[in-house]
Amino acid sequence: MSATVEETTELAPRLPADNLRRAVRIGICGLGTVGSGTVNVMARNGEEIAARCGRPVEIVQVGARRDNAACDTSKLNVTREIFDVADNPDVDILVELIGGTTVARELVLAAINNGKHIVTANKALIAEHGNELFAAAAEKGVTIAYEAAVAGGIPIIKSLREGLVGNRIQWLAGIINGTGNYILTEMRDKGRSFAEALAQAQELGYAEADPTFDVEGIDAAHKLVIMASLAFAMPLAFDKVYTEGISGVSSEDIRYADELGYRIKHLGIARRTEHGVELRVHPTLIPQRRLIANVNGVMNAVLVNGDAVGPTLYYGAGAGAEATASAVIADIVDVARTLEAKPDQRVPAAGVAEGSQAGPQVLPMDEVVTSYYLRISAHDKPGVMSQVAKICSDQGISIEALIQHEPAEGEALVPVVILTSRAKEARLREAVAQIEALDTVEGEVVRIRVETLG
Amino acid sequence: MSATVEETTELAPRLPADNLRRAVRIGICGLGTVGSGTVNVMARNGEEIAARCGRPVEIVQVGARRDNAACDTSKLNVTREIFDVADNPDVDILVELIGGTTVARELVLAAINNGKHIVTANKALIAEHGNELFAAAAEKGVTIAYEAAVAGGIPIIKSLREGLVGNRIQWLAGIINGTGNYILTEMRDKGRSFAEALAQAQELGYAEADPTFDVEGIDAAHKLVIMASLAFAMPLAFDKVYTEGISGVSSEDIRYADELGYRIKHLGIARRTEHGVELRVHPTLIPQRRLIANVNGVMNAVLVNGDAVGPTLYYGAGAGAEATASAVIADIVDVARTLEAKPDQRVPAAGVAEGSQAGPQVLPMDEVVTSYYLRISAHDKPGVMSQVAKICSDQGISIEALIQHEPAEGEALVPVVILTSRAKEARLREAVAQIEALDTVEGEVVRIRVETLG
Ligand SMILES: NC(=O)c1ccc[n+]([C@@H]2O[C@H](COP(=O)([O-])OP(=O)(O)OC[C@H]3O[C@@H](n4cnc5c(N)ncnc54)[C@H](OP(=O)(O)O)[C@@H]3O)[C@@H](O)[C@H]2O)c1
Ligand SMILES: NC(=O)c1ccc[n+]([C@@H]2O[C@H](COP(=O)([O-])OP(=O)(O)OC[C@H]3O[C@@H](n4cnc5c(N)ncnc54)[C@H](OP(=O)(O)O)[C@@H]3O)[C@@H](O)[C@H]2O)c1
């Protein structure tokens, strides 16, 4: 500690030879993208990690149905039966990296039952079964850590649960699905259609063959509900999230948004209101000047607004073998450090002490108040605009901005783009239904919510 | 834990009535901006903080020479003698918010000696006396927490020390002085001169009457050295930081930078190289497309590049009563949670376990390799450019971009702006000396370093 800068030229820290703490022993289940990334980073940075952790971190077992050429397990103890790891008395921490919600749930419960701590990257598991798993862990005096489950390598769980602990969080909004953000970025930068951009994402390995989870917002909803539970100290409420995907976003809307000074991003938004917590995932227009509007490609970012700190933003890679491993290892070190501590000396999995959770209502979507972007295909006849304005005004909605270009040569339909004032969803929905029923309007009205995030 | 969302409508979490952990007892010294902010936020969010902490947090004493109208201390135990707090046997954690490095050092040492943990927002104290204080604390088995010392409410210390613990940090670069960033932003957005923008900052209370600490980069150097010590697990080396302020930046340079696709920011940069660690604070051209180039006004941001996670960015308010209180409270909760834990179960103050620090050399500035922006005032004569190009090329420096506009009406001098290739500082300095010695060149060459941060 008192060494001066000149004394050594060592570039990496190293545990002293007389270190007395025994190694923490981890067992990794699943050797896919994240599992192999974790093995590789632990091997490469093992000495430094031990010095930071204050004790060596040892992989005592790996459970994998087959080898993965991406990492070298020749010196590791590999079992083909993942439940062996949950039963291995030498394992202190089981690292669950198999994904899914059925076998993973059983595996985690088995390990908890055997008194093991859990580190997981599995957002689906936490979002859908977290309440049950946290209760089981609390009962056994062990912890469940899940930094890697949200926004990959960005330490957002730690920031929400520890770094911002002095705040009442008012709202948070995140770009928390890299695939979706990649697609929207490609659509804007290269004028591609949704289908083209998706195909491109699949080619590059950013999107799965079945892209539903990413593109329809389910993955983002998993992550949102985890962040909201920490921000508002409430139970995980995955089934209460309103979820809308990006497959309906057109490059035309992206262009109009640009013209109005906005970008379209797929956001997960959680907000505390007097009547309950908003939980929603949907495409959103946000002002171009906001930092988060400029988060592009596969990158993730979460904007968190606390009553003391104001807005803070966390940005980084939301996926990838080593970025996710970074979060897994941070969790391992946290657990390792307090392995012998009393349960109440650890940061609680749910962010608040046992029995302290609040239970705010989730606000029904009809009650949510936002502004809207509307794109109407209207016949080029006088009177359309006054009809639309009348319908809106009857619902207490005013028109804040409007774009109406000349109709294209030979086109009977002209796109009318409107930004509305803030109004309840129910009002908006009613107005849109009435607009769609007009003789002068063709087909469905395109609607995308607008947030200023100010 | 197993409550469902409907069961209660409570909006704030609350410790259960049967909570068994005694309150953690804090003593706050200094009731200025941050001290009063801390008292206010603790009063407002006390219940939620207790629920997250797992125990009540109680202010048992405040040491303040006088009252501060910004906060209500009528229900608090106030002493006019701050050393009372260090001697108070009821105090578990002394929160040092007086600033400065003399009395603050004595106060902190006295408290450590009495077995108290320390929370401080004092970057000067940590940067200049941290090595000594950490050693004293380790000896007594107590800890020193200093999240608020860097970038106000942004949890950057926690992110570096815990969130990114799996990484070898390769470099970090931060906008870590809000006053300086405000001034540069005003200069760019409104075309103001440095002096005008500084006066404006002073009027708004963003800059002190004596702005030296902010404007000349000393404050940023304090913060940089703290982040570098954590990132590279090295002792604090404040006297080794190369520091250059922003008083030499002109709005002309900001305009040329814009033209070249860059923004000028005052950055603190720390980078691991084969031959040592770079530690430097100076105005820097960075590509406009980088997120951090778009961090404006008084906001702070730190970009951290880890070998596993890649680039991550942390953004928020770097100062202000409540933003800084947010960080102070996060530290209090961390310490409170592990108050009864063994010292090695806490995150070590220096980021690595006792005795594990590396001691990399700090790279002498002459050895640092960067690109440069140069602005030369040349007589409008043929041959100047070929002379400049020859000098550069003799030093192994090539010219990557060049702007040379027509001379203004009646002007004999024409500004020549150059972006150079990457080269050692020593080479660059030599080239500039030779350019300045040319008959065809007038006055000093303006030089600003360039970083791609890619
Ligand atoms: N990939 C990312 O960037 C990323 C980022 C954040 C979080 N995550 C999360 O991390 C977890 C792992 O993701 P991944 O991308 O690493 O997945 P992956 O590449 O598909 O790897 C999953 C691994 O688990 C094994 N596995 C799956 N089901 C199993 C079962 N029932 N029994 C035994 N082994 C089983 C697979 O074995 P086989 O090869 O034999 O099928 C494979 O080794 C998921 O929860 C995911 O949501 C991933
Ligand atoms: N302000 C920010 O936004 C900010 C952000 C991050 C970190 N910090 C750090 O937080 C610390 C406090 O900053 P601040 O802005 O709150 O300063 P401040 O407003 O000047 O308050 C300092 C307080 O300490 C008292 N004090 C100073 N020297 C003292 C002494 N020798 N004996 C007794 N009391 C003494 C002052 O009392 P008097 O009023 O009687 O002089 C005042 O109550 C500093 O280390 C600063 O670098 C500040």
Report which residue type is found at B82. Answer: I
Residue B9 domain flag: no
Q: Which three-class secondary structure state does DSSP give residue B3?
A: coil
Taking the CA of A127 as reference, the closest ligand is 1
Report which residue type is found at A42. Answer: M
- Minimum distance, in Å, between the CA of residue B392 and any CA atom of chain A: 33
Residue A7 domain flag: no
User: Considering only alpha carbons, which residue of chain B is nearest residue A156?
Assistant: B163
Residue A214 domain flag: yes
CB contact under 8 A, B356 and A325: no
Distance (Å) from CA A358 to ligand 1 centroid:
33
Q: Is there a single domain that holds both residue A313 and residue A187?
A: yes
Annotated binding-site residue? A316: no
Residues of A in contact with B161 (CB under 8 A): 52
A7-37 per-position pLDDT tens digit: 444 578 999 988 889 999 999 999 999 999 9
Residue A351 domain flag: no
Distance (Å) from CA A36 to ligand 1 centroid:
10
Residues of A acting as catalytic residues: 223
B392-450 per-position pLDDT tens digit: 999 999 999 999 888 878 888 999 999 999 999 999 999 999 999 999 999 999 999 99
Q: Is there a single domain that holds both residue A313 and residue A168?
A: yes
Residue B3 domain flag: no
Closest CA to B362 of A6, A2, A1, A7: A6
Residues of B in contact with A312 (CB under 8 A): 153-155, 314-317
Percent of all residues in chain B with a pLDDT value above 90, rounded to a whole number = 90
User: Considering only alpha carbons, which residue of chain B is nearest residue A14?
Assistant: B356
Polymer length in residues for chain B: 454
Q: Is the pLDDT of residue A144 over 80?
A: yes
Partner residue facing B3 (CB), from A44, A52, A357? A357
CA terminus-to-terminus distance, chain B: 44
State residue A60 phi and psi, 5-degree precision.
-90, -20
Q: Is there a single domain that holds both residue A304 and residue A329?
A: no
Closest CA to A120 of A109, A108, A112: A108
pTM value is 0.97
* CATH code of the domain containing B339: 3.40.50.720
Q: B364: Cβ below 6 Å to ligand 2?
A: no
Which residue's alpha carbon is nearest to atom 27 within ligand 2? B98
Q: What is the pLDDT of residue A8?
A: 41
Closest CA to A68 of A321, A298, A317: A321
Distance (Å) from CA A99 to ligand 1 centroid:
5
Distance (Å) from CA A350 to ligand 1 centroid:
24
Q: What is the pLDDT of residue A10?
A: 56
* CATH code of the domain containing B197: 3.30.360.10
Encoded tokens for A50: 């031990």
Count of Cβ atoms closer than 10 Å to residue A43 Cβ:
13
Q: Is there a single domain that holds both residue B65 and residue B110?
A: yes
Residue B357 domain flag: no
Closest CA to B349 of B238, B239, B233: B233
The secondary element (H helix, E strand) that includes residue B183 is helix B178-190
Q: B34: Cβ below 6 Å to ligand 2?
A: yes
Partner residue facing A361 (CB), from B9, B37, B295? B9
3-state secondary structure A140-169: HCCCEECHHHCCCCCCHHHHHHHHCCCCCE
Q: What is the number of domains present in chain A?
A: 3
Q: Is there a single domain that holds both residue A68 and residue A85?
A: yes
C-alpha to C-alpha distances, B53 to A353, B57, B131, B154, B329, nearest whole angstrom: 7, 8, 29, 19, 10
For A273, counting Cβ atoms within 10 Å of its Cβ (0-12 exposed, 13-18 middle, 19+ buried), the class is middle
pLDDT in tens, chain B (454 residues): 344 444 444 578 999 988 889 999 999 999 999 999 999 999 999 999 999 999 999 999 999 999 999 999 999 999 999 999 999 999 999 999 999 999 999 999 999 999 999 999 999 999 999 999 999 999 999 999 999 999 999 999 999 999 999 999 999 999 999 999 999 999 999 999 999 999 999 999 998 889 999 999 999 999 999 999 999 999 999 999 999 999 999 999 999 999 999 999 999 999 999 999 999 999 999 999 999 999 999 999 999 999 999 999 999 999 999 999 999 999 999 999 999 999 999 999 999 998 998 877 999 999 999 999 999 999 987 889 999 999 999 999 999 999 988 887 888 899 999 999 999 999 999 999 999 999 999 999 999 999 999 9
Percent of all residues in chain A with a pLDDT value above 70, rounded to a whole number = 98
Q: Is there a single domain that holds both residue A325 and residue A442?
A: no
Q: Is there a single domain that holds both residue B171 and residue B146?
A: no
DSSP 8-state secondary structure symbol assigned to residue A114: T
CB contact under 8 A, B1 and A45: no
B417 neighbors B402 (Cβ within 8 angstroms): yes
CB contact under 8 A, B13 and A356: yes
Residue A418 domain flag: yes
Percent of all residues in chain A with a pLDDT value above 90, rounded to a whole number = 90
Range of the domain at A193: 163-317
Closest CA to A124 of A143, A150, A106, A144: A150
A301 neighbors A286 (Cβ within 8 angstroms): no
Q: Is there a single domain that holds both residue A282 and residue A302?
A: yes
Residues of A in contact with B308 (CB under 8 A): 37, 41, 45, 153, 322-323, 325-326, 329
CB contact under 8 A, A16 and B167: no
- Ligand 2 atom closest to the Cα of residue B66 is 40
Q: A226: Cβ below 6 Å to ligand 1?
A: no
- Minimum distance, in Å, between the CA of residue A104 and any CA atom of chain B: 20
Report which residue type is found at A110. Answer: A
Q: Which three-class secondary structure state does DSSP give residue B79?
A: strand
Residue A208 domain flag: yes
Q: Is there a single domain that holds both residue A43 and residue A91?
A: yes
Report which residue type is found at B330. Answer: A
Q: Is there a single domain that holds both residue A399 and residue A439?
A: yes
Q: Is there a single domain that holds both residue B35 and residue B141?
A: yes
User: Considering only alpha carbons, which residue of chain B is nearest residue A309?
Assistant: B323
* CATH code of the domain containing B429: 3.30.70.260
Match 């998993």 to its residue by tokens.
Answer: A222
Q: Is there a single domain that holds both residue B313 and residue B328?
A: no
Encoded tokens for B34: 């941050």
- Ligand 1 atom closest to the Cα of residue A103 is 31
